[in-house]
Structure 1
Amino acid sequence: MRLFALKGSEDLGAAVAHALWTELDPHEERDFEDGEHKARPLVSVRGEDVYVLHSLAGSAAASANDRLCKLLFFIAACRENGAERVTALVPYLAYSRKDRQTKARDPVTTRYVAQLFEAVGTDRVLVVDVHNFAAFQNAFRCGTIHLDARRLFCPIIRSLADDMLITIFSPDGGGVKRAQLLKETFEADTGLEAGFGFMEKRRSRGIVTGNLFAGDVKGSAVFIVDDMINTGGTTLRAAVACRERGAEAVYALATHGLFGEGVEELFESPLIDRIVVTDSVAAAAEAAVRYPQARLDIVPVGPLIGEAVRRLHTHGSIDDLLGMED
């Protein structure tokens, strides 16, 4: 087996390697003055089961386009040089938001990205909590593996809530299933009961509307769950609504802490007691340094990815890692 982590994903790659009791394999990445680049493995990949890790969240150092292009080219180079199988480990998959047409002549970028992975010979794509699970599975014709991070959050919910009532809350209609699954998993893992709620949100041309609120949050510790937090606007909107209806405490849970421009308002808001994300993207650790006042906890996702890789390489079962019932 060969395991590589491209530039910008080295820390998470090292955590995955540690979980596998191995080390990252060496590779070269070289940037040219005109913006082009090349990358190549520095060890033989011929006949090998190759895993390439790169999270595709854009940053000041590299855009999502740059990261995607580099990952695709590196996968192609591995196939060009005789790799038996290549699995792309993509904890955060860029362009997964736009998975259907909602306006005339809209692109369907999830499908286009899938076609790019297939074109360079990717055998499997592994992601963690993609934006739309069904759209992800339907877009790809190569193998797909969708890891679910909700079991990482269950002990944290129990610890933060203490003796308070617990409500799992979706900040929009699109995340209702995600929140329901977290509620069910939490109850199964802990034996405790949790309430459920959600609110309406519709975004069109940058304007957010919708006032419907469902669920009883009075006196509860409310856990707002989403797949990602970027500016934090959706999370704050839900926090305001929950506080107005008597929530005792409000916590934000998200797998991917993208923390883009404008997130300062989220970090400084007294409405949210804590924010919990995984280290699926480097922006989470960077935000913890840049905003020391933020009440931010980061949960490691490397062991989960590492265990999935171990089972894939040894042809073991990964059903219990996928969050699916028999």
Structure 2
Amino acid sequence: MIFFSLNHSADLGRAVAHAGGFPLALHEEREFSGGEHKARPLLSVRGKDVYVLHSLYGEPGMSANDKLCRLLMFLATCRENGAARVTAIVPYLAYSRKDRQTKPRDPVTTRYVAALFEAMGTDCVVTLDVHNHAAFQNAFRCQTVHLDTRRLFTAQILARADEAPIAIVSPDGGGIKRAQLLREALTETSERSFDFGFMEKRRSEGVVSGSLFAGDVMGRSVWIVDDMIVGGGTMLRAARACREHGASQVHLIATHAMLTPEGIDTLDDPAIDTVTLTDAAAGLGPARAVLGDQLVGVSVAQEIAQTILRLSLGQSISPVLDPTGNTR
């Protein structure tokens, strides 16, 4: 097994290699005038089981398109140079939010991205907390593995909970299933009971509306869960609604931290007690500089490393997928 991590995911790549106890293979990335580039492995991949990690979030100086192109070309290079199997480890999968037509002549970019991976000869795509699990599964024809953070978030909530009753809240209607699954994982793991709620949200041409709040959060420690935070407005709306309905504490928890500078400032609000984010997408340094101890970082490196090891050995990945940690 050979594990690569492209340069803009180097920190997470090193953490995954350390967690899995396997080396991070050397590769080269070169930039050319005119904006072109190349990447190649610096050791033979012929006949090898190759894993390539790259998280496809946009950041200053490197768009999601740039990262996607680099990853696809590197996967194709490994395949062309004789790799027996090529697996893409994509903690954040770009364009997964556009998974259906909501207006006439809309693109369905989730399906287009899947076709690109398949065209490069990718055998398997592994991702984490994709925006729409069903759309992800339906878009790909190659093998896919969908990991989630329920086990990590369950451990965080239970370790930090006090005696106050707990409520799990979705910040919008689209995330209800995600919040319900986290609540179920908590119920299976703990003898405590957990309440549930959600906030109405409608978005049209960038304008967010909707004020309906469902659920009893009075006197409760509320955990608002989502797959990603970018501008922070959706989470802040939900946090303020929970406070207005009597929540004693409000904690935000999300997998993909793709915060803009304005988004970080948005979360620095008295309605929010803590913000828990993983390292699956961007680094947490800029957010920590503003939020300080209010920010709690959680690493997904162990989960990804165990997935790679089990795939490379042909073992079941059920122990990684089970949010309670049980082996099935």
Q: Find the aligned partners of 1:29 and 1:227 in 2 and give their Cα distance.
A: 30
Q: Which residue does 1:204 correspond to in 2?
A: 204
Partner Cα separation in structure 1 for residue 267 and residue 209 of structure 2: 23
Task: Return the offset for 1:26.
Answer: 0.1
Residue in 2 that maps onto 1:144: 144
Residue pairs, 1:214-233, within 5 angstroms: 214-233=214-233
Moved more, 93-102 or 157-166: 157-166
Question: 203-212 or 176-185: which moved more?
Answer: 203-212
Aligned counterparts of 1:90 and 1:155: Cα–Cα separation in 2: 24
- Is residue 283 of structure 1 aligned with residue 283 of structure 2? yes
* In 2: Cα distance, 1:83 partner to 1:74 partner: 12
C-alpha displacement of 1:320: 2.9
Aligned to 1:316, the other structure's residue is in SS state coil
| Deviation for aligned residue 1:76 | 0.3
1:9-56 residue CA offsets vs partner (Å, 9 max, x unmatched): 011111111122122000000011210000000000000000000000
3-state DSSP of counterpart to 1:283:
coil
Q: What residue in structure 2 maps to residue 298 of structure 1?
A: 297
Corresponding position of 2:242: 242
Q: How far is the alpha carbon of 1:261 from its aligned partner?
A: 4.0
Say whether 1:16 aligns with 2:7.
Answer: no
Paired amino acid for 2:174: G
Q: Determine if the alignment matches structure 1 residue 113 to structure 2 residue 116.
A: no
- Equivalent residue for 1:315? 314
What is the match of residue 40 of structure 2? 40
Distance apart, 1:322 and its partner CA: 2.3
Could you say if the C-alpha distance between residues 255 and 72 of structure 1 is closer, same or farther in structure 2, counting changes exceeding 3 Å? Answer: same
Distance, in Å, in 2 between the alignment partners of 1:85 and 1:54 is 17
Quote the residue 1:213 is aligned against: 213
TM-superposed deviation, 1:156: 1.4
Q: Report SS of the residue matched to 1:253.
A: strand
Q: Is the 8 A contact 2:268 2:291 kept in 1?
A: no
Q: Secondary structure at the match of 2:221?
A: strand
Cα deviation 1:187-207 (Å, max 9, x = unaligned): 111221110001111111111
2: CA distance between counterparts of 1:99 and 1:294?
36
Scaled by the length of structure 1, the TM-score of the pair is 0.97
Say which is worse superposed, 258-267 or 234-243, in terms of deviation: 258-267
Deviates more, 1:316-325 or 1:129-138: 316-325
Please give the alpha-carbon distance, in whole angstroms, between the structure 2 residues aligned to 1:135 and 1:323. 21
1:66 aligns with 2:66: yes
* Identical residues among aligned pairs (%): 58
1:275, 1:287 → 2: CA distance?
A: 10
Q: Distance in 2 between the 1:210 and 1:91 partners? A: 31
TM-score of the superposition, structure 2-length normalised? 0.96
Give the gaps of 5 or more residues in structure 1.
Answer: none
Q: In 2, are the aligned partners of 1:268 and 1:294 still within 8 Å (CA)? A: no
In structure 2, C-alpha distance between the alignment counterparts of 1:315 and 1:217, rounded to whole Å:
45
Find the aligned partners of 1:63 and 1:312 in 2 and give their Cα distance: 30
Q: Deviations over 1:252-303 (max 9, x none)?
A: 00011111242133332011000001110233234324x2546111101000
Partners of 1:182 and 1:200 in 2: CA distance: 19
1:267 touches 1:293 (CA, 8 Å); kept in 2? no
Q: What residue identity is the alignment partner of 1:306?
A: A
Give the counterpart letter for 2:303 in structure 1.
L
What count of residue pairs does the alignment treat as equivalent?
325
Partner of 2:99: 99
Contact residue 267 and residue 295 of structure 1 kept, 8 A: no
Secondary structure of the residue aligned to 2:243 is: helix
1:6, CA displacement in angstroms?
0.2
Q: State the AA in 2 paired with 1:235.
A: M
**Paired letter, 2:248:** E
Does the C-alpha gap of structure 1 residues 145 and 250 become closer, same or farther in structure 2, counting only changes over 3 Å?
same
Q: Structure 2, unaligned stretches of length 5 or more? A: none
Structure 1 residue 155 displacement after superposition: 2.0
Q: Distance in 1 between matches of 2:18 and 2:148?
A: 20
- Residue 259 of structure 2 is matched in structure 1 by 259
Q: Select between 201-210 and 133-142 the one with higher mean Cα deviation.
A: 201-210
8 Å CA contact retained: 2:166, 2:222: yes
Residue 158 of structure 1 deviates from its aligned partner by 1.8
Residues 1:126 and 2:143 are matched in the alignment? no
Shift of 1:95: 0.5
